Structure 1
Amino acid sequence: MQSFRPVARGAHRALCQVRSLATDVFQQQRFNFPKAYEIIGAPQVSSISRKTEIICTIGPTSWDAEVLAGLIDAGMNVIRCNMSHGDHEEQTMKLENLAKAYELRPQAKGSIKVLMDTCGPEIRTGYFEVYNEKKRLKAGQPFRLLTDYSVKGDENQVAITYKDLPKDVQTGQQILIQDGTVILEVTGTGPDFVDTKVLNDARLGEKKNVNVPGVKINLPVVDEREIKDIVHWANPHKADYIALSFVQSGQDIIDCRKHCNSHTKIIAKIENVEGLRHFDEILREADGIMVARGDLGMEIPIERIWMAQKMMIKRCKEAGKLAVTATEMLSSMEDKMFPTRAEACDVANAVLDGSDFLMLSGEVANGAFPIQTCEMMRRIIEEAEHALDF
């Protein structure tokens, strides 16, 4: 994996400022921490309205009207429709079910904002024979990536969306899948495939993100699909926000804005080295920044993710732009009723950093406890905001 310092030279000076950020925060921002004995007592109830909003990614376990109504009760403020998962018909169904949820919660009618997340120049894996199935991979086994997306995968192979991958990778390079939980090493290539060796035991799901650290993917950020999704879905449904994936320059924002409704705010997702390198110009053109820690964490050393997060949020605050913190906020709640202690601290610290939005992804889209997850995030946010002197 490449060193962060030489790769992200454009953002290096801003990142260096974060070395003293913890001290700066405590000097510049007043906290209302409780006494030790008060921490033991009942949870604090904030006397002010919640400032940090919750974005919920809607998927199979959360798109029913009854669940959406429960999410409204739990504190959801924004519904995220991810164009990487589902066509226009499926995304429209989510909004139709939101309208049904309003019938169950008439006092909330019209209160939930809509965010459309673009596919962008991403690489994703394909499907397996059984929908939404997960395949178990073993360390040391061979595994083939195929550029024919019509092929259904199994334990030995899976299709990918990027036809030029065999040209762009070399033997010995690592390929990271599913937010880095699946690590492959390239052993060879052919005209329409990449042969790899699995480096760790893992379970691989469908439609998962694929990253090759240090390799610039030769795909446009605003392509025909993004334009179609904006013009034929986001605009007719009056989307409040568009999260533009894998932004690499300020021009990407300009190109996107040409196709958007005038009221729609563009949130630039910083997910790779190019996004960090050109952060200043991206921030200048965008309405906000999303700290997309999943893909970004596969492009830069994982021990520096916290630094990138704090730098970007700090710069957003200075520029008066929106800041969104995303990825693995409460990921353990996909299959558990409660988060880890570290996740609870992560959510609170993202609030203290100054995030305007926190985003839930798979926890709500595919998790077993979507409503409880949203409620837990709301409770942590309220406790964190209670410590801030707004």
Structure 2
Amino acid sequence: MRKRTKIITTLGPSTNSVNVIKGLIEAGTDVFRLNLSHARVDSIKEILNTLKNESKKLNRPVATLIDLQGQKIRIKGFGENKYIRLKSDDKFILDASLNANKGDVKKVGITYKNLYKNVIKGDELLLSDGLIKLQVTNIISKKIHTKVLRGGTLYSYQGLNKKGGGLSLKGLTAKDKIDLKRAITYDIDYIAVSFVKDQNDLIEIKKIIKNKKIGIIAKIERSEALQNLDDIVKHSDGILVARGDLGVEIGIEQLPAVQDKLINKAMSYDKLVIIATQMMESMKTNRLPTRAEVFDVSNAVSSGVDAIMLSGETAVGKYPVDVVLEASRICEIAESTNRKNITIARKEKNFSKVDQVIAMAAAYSADKASIKAIAALTETGSTALWMSRVQSSIPIYAMTQNEKTSRRICLYKGVYSIKINKIEHIHAKANKQVIDLMQQKGTVKKGDLVIITKGDLMGTKGGTNALKIVEVGNLLDI
């Protein structure tokens, strides 16, 4: 059986060839991410065509996630120099008025012109993912004077954070809005919103997306987001724990506890949850992960997350396919040996829809009986999503004739997407169609019990209203 935890692979220079894309799908990639901090929105169309072609050849749906750049503060450049070296006790000035490539060992430009309004003497500013620490000593004519507390190598256009957060930044930039409006004209599946501060950022996204079937993933990477977590989760389809910037703002020693809190919060609302940042970082240059990375991935899987996300490891690393192969193996072993008992206090105590009742009944009963698998005939994927919220080892096969649904399902933990050309409308024939497909894939054998969920009017949104248990090899003759 394939892994239940999904893998998101970030595309980049290392994944430009069709052969690499094919290898990534075969290795276990479920969702492909295009990061608009580094890629152009115009490249989406070509990438989508490649993904669709290779996915079709391999008969394996994959989803796409477009990651908006967001309001990240960065330093500017150092002219002909790629980097400078700062030493402890050096004096260093941050100057928003400085031209893009006029930086040196004494000063550098910054992308956020109002930063001086958001800091006071004594504040600590962190550069290069927290490796370099500055302390504000004075603010003169909008220039921020600092003392270097911890030195290091500083490259052009690296990120800048304020320890503890508190910067008055909006979540969406003008560039994000332009990119989003262009991105939704393509057949994409998910949008990741960077540096979300509160639910208003997500409401603004929804106004642009309107009624398009695109999932919204809120990236939690600002300390302010932790104060507005319930509202953010409720207004999104899921959250992404972006441990890079978040760790810089709150302190990396706080991350393990905060990660567990974020996972539990998303699961309590039956929302998707993704863990990201440096999952397999050493594999940028090595063919094998470190032991610490294996433990990190395994711990995320054991916590019940829907997906782990690979970033630079696949985008710019030397061995992108090897990274996904290793991640897949770790997921499979972690799932098969996991003994962690996950208890979630769900916010929704009652089921409000018929298809939700059927989905949860199937998932709960399958775990208590000798059920080999669940097959969900679905139009929108909602039934499969609800089933996947139950902590269970029973595989769920979501079968749909809707191409977009077949892709979106790929992010749901424990759900395997099967695209079919046409669903039989006579129920006995539909049952046989389901079992035949599962036997072809080698997932069930004669004598196995399978739960099938479907609706009286198959192919209708929200129409699932029936649950049937069938025995493979003992179906009604038609």
Q: Shared topology, TM-score over 0.5?
A: yes
Among candidates 12, 28, 31, match of residue 78 of structure 1: 31
- Name the structure 1 match of 2:460: none
Q: How does 1:1-390 map to 2 (within 5 A)?
A: 48-89=1-42, 91-92=43-44, 96-97=46-47, 99-100=49-50, 107-108=57-58, 111-129=61-79, 133-148=82-97, 150-152=99-101, 156=105, 157-191=107-141, 193-233=143-183, 235-260=184-209, 262-388=212-338, 390=393
CA distance 1:226–1:146, change in 2 (3 Å):
same
1:102/1:108 contact within 8 Å kept: no
**Alpha-carbon distance between aligned partners in 2 of 1:206 and 1:61, rounded to the nearest angstrom:** 22
CA distance 1:257–1:303, change in 2 (3 Å):
same
The count of residues paired between Structure 1 and Structure 2 equals 338
1:183/1:200 contact within 8 Å kept: yes
What is the root-mean-square deviation of aligned Cα atoms in Å? 2.6
Gaps of 5+ in 1: 1-47
1:135/1:154 contact within 8 Å kept: no
CA distance 1:289–1:105, change in 2 (3 Å):
closer
- CA offsets 1:222-249 (integer angstroms, 9 cap, x no match): 343222111112x012221111112222
Does 1 or 2 have the higher relative contact order (CA < 8 Å, sep 6+)? Answer: 1
**Alpha-carbon distance between aligned partners in 1 of 2:83 and 2:179, rounded to the nearest angstrom:** 28
Greater gyration radius:
2
1:85/1:207 contact within 8 Å kept: no
CA distance 1:106–1:206, change in 2 (3 Å):
farther
Gaps of 5+ in 2: 339-391, 394-478
- Name the structure 1 match of 2:454: none
CA distance 1:98–1:372, change in 2 (3 Å):
farther
**Alpha-carbon distance between aligned partners in 1 of 2:175 and 2:31, rounded to the nearest angstrom:** 23
1:68/1:98 contact within 8 Å kept: no
CA distance 1:246–1:100, change in 2 (3 Å):
closer
SS in 1 for 2:258: helix
Shift of 1:207: 3.4
1:166/1:190 contact within 8 Å kept: no
**Match of 2:231, as an amino acid?**
E
CA distance 1:303–1:187, change in 2 (3 Å):
same
**Alpha-carbon distance between aligned partners in 2 of 1:369 and 1:130, rounded to the nearest angstrom:** 30
Identity %: 36
Shift of 1:337: 2.6
CA distance 1:387–1:215, change in 2 (3 Å):
closer
Shift of 1:108: 3.5
- TM-score, scaled relative to structure 2: 0.65
**Match of 1:209, as an amino acid?**
G
2:170/2:197 contact within 8 Å kept: no
CA distance 1:130–1:341, change in 2 (3 Å):
farther
2:88/2:148 contact within 8 Å kept: yes
CA distance 1:68–1:197, change in 2 (3 Å):
farther
